[in-house]
């Protein structure tokens, strides 16, 4: 029994503390999703609009630019959280996210300043990624470390549901402005809203006492990063693959399809976007279901089934996309969304058990950052490039199949890492 890792903290977190963690998580994913949803509309505003496909590819290519800053942010906030407490790290990250999001709403367009417009847009997104790197893993650690093992799968799914609330909010607002034909002129207000809403999260976090900070002795204040990575390289690799696959299953149905569907069907960008809100709502409702299912039959089984399903079905799904009706497009997107939800529902509960407490923030933040930036975030740009070069409508399915294969193999490997962590936790508790 993993006493140290799984028993509730003597200081259980108040409702205010949990809500503040959820608000920060909601805002991070609102900010991140907003850019993806706006990409088809921002492309002609921030790039030369003479070649629409090239402009769209370049706009989607900004998303992986976080590779340069998100891992750095993960290292900073991971070290900061393990050394000085989760609350302090989450407070700092939320301030930075709010300022970065506000600044994106003030950017001039390509018509106003030319090539400097996409450069400023890229810089703003990179700053946003740096500050967001510690938010989601930090919030998960903050809540799950004082949740019993039996309830972690369910709580992990609720944390992920709060993620979907942020994405759903971004989708609903973009769809609303698009339906009224004002998205090209009112897109700035969506960034201003996200930045301003961070104030609420900051107020709540200022009221929190950080029980993790009082446990600084349980964490490692001084140890070289190289030694930490060497000690936990297996867990780090597993989290990279898992987070990358999870981001891929989100990016394809909710980001890529908004720009890809109008290229291969008669549907407009607005029609492709309108189904986003419905799909996100279904996603949010399914998360607690898969969290409950995982608590009954085991999270690794559910996650492995999801990866195997997409490995075999990804390419066939996209073969039906060319010239598809709106109903068929929604069905294809659901074919990616449902396995993705099954995998993501208990991702944080699974990841928490891969790493001992003393290095947990660092490994989870860095692994999530590298996975999202190396595998997940480039999804839209790479899939569009593959389609441009081959003309194959199932090109996104090839990328998804590869990511699914990696995740399936990783789940086998991670069992050993989880077993090692359990042994270390047991030895530590017996020593105490």
Q: Which of 145, 143, 163 is nearest to 32 (CA)?
A: 163
- Would you give the distance in Å from CA 266 to the centre of its chain? 30
> How confident is the prediction along the chain (432 residues), in pLDDT tens digits per residue?
333 333 334 344 556 666 767 777 788 788 877 887 888 888 888 887 667 777 888 887 787 777 778 888 888 888 887 777 777 787 788 888 888 888 888 888 888 888 888 888 888 888 888 888 877 787 788 778 777 788 888 888 888 888 888 888 888 888 888 777 777 778 888 988 888 777 776 776 666 554 444 444 444 445 667 777 788 888 889 999 999 999 999 899 988 988 899 889 888 877 777 777 788 888 888 999 999 999 889 899 999 999 999 999 999 999 999 888 989 999 999 999 999 999 999 898 898 888 887 788 888 888 888 898 889 888 988 999 999 899 999 999 999 999 999 999 888 776 655 555 555 555 554 454
Name every residue whose Cβ is closer than 8 Å to that of residue 263 and which is 6 or more positions away in sequence: 53, 387
* 323 φ/ψ sector (left φ>0, alpha ψ -120 to 50, else beta): left
b/e map of 49-72 (b: 16 or more CB within 10 Å)?
A: eeebeebbbbbbbbbbbbbebbbb
Alpha helices in 325-394 (DSSP H): 326-344, 347-352, 360-371, 379-390
pTM over 0.85: no
Cβ neighbours around 149 below 10 Å, total: 17
Going from the C-alpha of 125 to that of each of 119, 135, 208, 281, 324, the distances in angstroms are: 10, 16, 29, 26, 33
Report pLDDT digits (tens) over 114-153.
888 888 888 888 888 888 887 778 778 877 877 778 888 8
């Amino acid at each position: 029994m993993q006493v140290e890792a799984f028993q509730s903290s003597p200081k259980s977190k108040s409702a205010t503390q949990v809500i503040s963690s959820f608000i920060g998580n909601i805002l991070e994913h609102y900010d991140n999703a907003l850019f993806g949803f706006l990409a088809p509309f921002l492309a002609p505003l921030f790039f030369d609009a003479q070649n629409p496909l090239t402009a769209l590819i370049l706009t989607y290519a900004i998303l992986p630019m976080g590779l340069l800053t998100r891992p750095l942010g993960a290292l900073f906030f991971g070290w900061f959280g393990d050394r000085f407490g989760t609350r302090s790290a989450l407070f700092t990250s939320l301030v930075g996210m709010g300022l970065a999001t506000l600044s994106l709403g003030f950017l001039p367009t390509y018509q106003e300043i030319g090539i400097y417009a996409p450069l400023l847009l890229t810089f703003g997104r990179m700053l946003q990624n740096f500050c967001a790197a510690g938010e989601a893993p930090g919030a998960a650690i903050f809540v799950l470390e004082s949740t019993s093992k039996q309830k972690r799968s369910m709580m992990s799914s609720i944390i992920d549901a709060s993620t979907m609330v942020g994405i759903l909010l971004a989708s609903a607002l973009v769809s609303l402005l698009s339906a009224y034909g004002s998205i090209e002129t009112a897109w700035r207000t969506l960034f201003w809203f996200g930045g301003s809403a961070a104030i609420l999260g900051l107020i709540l976090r200022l009221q929190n006492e950080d029980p993790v900070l009082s446990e600084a002795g349980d964490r490692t204040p001084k140890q070289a990063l190289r030694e930490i990575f060497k000690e936990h390289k297996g867990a780090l690799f597993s989290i990279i693959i898992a987070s990358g696959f999870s981001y891929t299953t989100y990016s394809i149905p909710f980001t890529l399809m908004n720009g890809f569907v109008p290229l291969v069907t008669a549907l407009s960008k607005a029609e492709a976007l309108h189904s986003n809100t419905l799909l996100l709502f279904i996603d949010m409702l399914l998360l607690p279901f898969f969290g409950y299912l995982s608590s009954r039959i085991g999270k690794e089984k559910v996650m492995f089934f999801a990866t195997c399903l997409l490995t075999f079905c990804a390419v066939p799904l996209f073969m039906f996309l060319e010239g598809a009706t709106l109903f068929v497009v929604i069905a294809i997107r659901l074919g990616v969304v449902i396995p993705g939800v099954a995998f993501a529902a208990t991702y944080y509960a699974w990841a928490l058990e891969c790493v001992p407490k003393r290095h947990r923030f660092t490994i989870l933040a860095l692994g999530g950052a590298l996975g999202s930036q190396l595998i997940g975030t480039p999804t839209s740009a790479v899939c569009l490039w593959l389609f441009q070069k081959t003309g194959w409508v199932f090109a996104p399915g090839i990328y998804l199949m590869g990511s699914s294969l990696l995740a399936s193999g990783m789940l086998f490997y991670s069992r050993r890492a989880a077993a090692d962590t359990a042994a270390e936790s047991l030895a530590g508790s017996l020593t105490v």
